[in-house]
Amino acid sequence: MTLPPIEPIPIVPPWVTLCLAIWGAFLSSVTLGWNLYRDLLDHSKLQINARVRRIVQSADGKWYAVNHDLPVVGASEQLFVIISAVNVGRRPVVWEGWGGNYHKPVNGKTSFAIIPWNLPKKLDEGEFHSERTDLGDDLRPASENVKRLFIGDTTGKKWKISWWKMRALRKEALAATGEQ
């Protein structure tokens, strides 16, 4: 006589195993999604702005840029294009230089570089820096032939000014020089 096979008595019901498997798949999917989201946003990002300004020195020796039509005692007569960058990303950026591109080539060149005053400059999260150049009689670097202004970092990325900020810069330059 043979004995019937012994059936093991399950300690955990089968539905619990299924629930734990579904919970594990859900949790690992959420973790993967969160890591992708975090890693894709974890980079440097700059906000660029350009304005036409005059330069003035305060009583304590600090230099400030003021609006071109603001009557401030001691403000320069010379107009400047001030370009500012704010690091709104999570990683630092080293601002290396700035320049622009032309619509139509000038002297056979399609782009130009502007000699910086205080570059290179490392911008950590939330830091900003401004650079300036003279606004020429031909309104360069805010003339109609300038397609865009950009700043360059050490990785070779060019951060450009948006077209509507470039358009506002052109209008401001025309208003500041009285050429309308």
Of the candidates 38, 69, 37, which has an alpha carbon nearest to the alpha carbon of residue 52? 69
Give the contacts of 125 (CB within 8 A, at least 6 positions apart). Answer: 87, 89, 90, 91, 92
- The pLDDT value recorded for residue 51 is 94
- Beta bridge mates, 133: 81
- The pLDDT value recorded for residue 69 is 85
- The pLDDT value recorded for residue 179 is 67
Per-residue pLDDT of the chain (180 residues; tens, 9 = 90+): 788 888 877 788 888 989 999 999 999 999 999 999 888 888 889 999 999 999 998 889 888 888 888 888 888 889 999 999 999 988 999 999 999 999 999 999 999 999 998 999 999 999 999 999 998 877 888 888 999 999 999 999 999 999 999 999 999 999 888 765
Within a 10 A sphere around the Cβ of 25, how many other Cβ atoms?
Answer: 10
Domain ranges of the chain: 13-42, 46-177
- The pLDDT value recorded for residue 107 is 92
Is residue 145 classed as helix, strand or coil in its secondary structure?
coil
| Cβ proximity of 128 and 86 under 8 Å | yes
Architecture of domain 46-177: Sandwich (2.60)
Q: What is the rounded CA–CA span in Å between residue 161 and residue 140?
A: 15
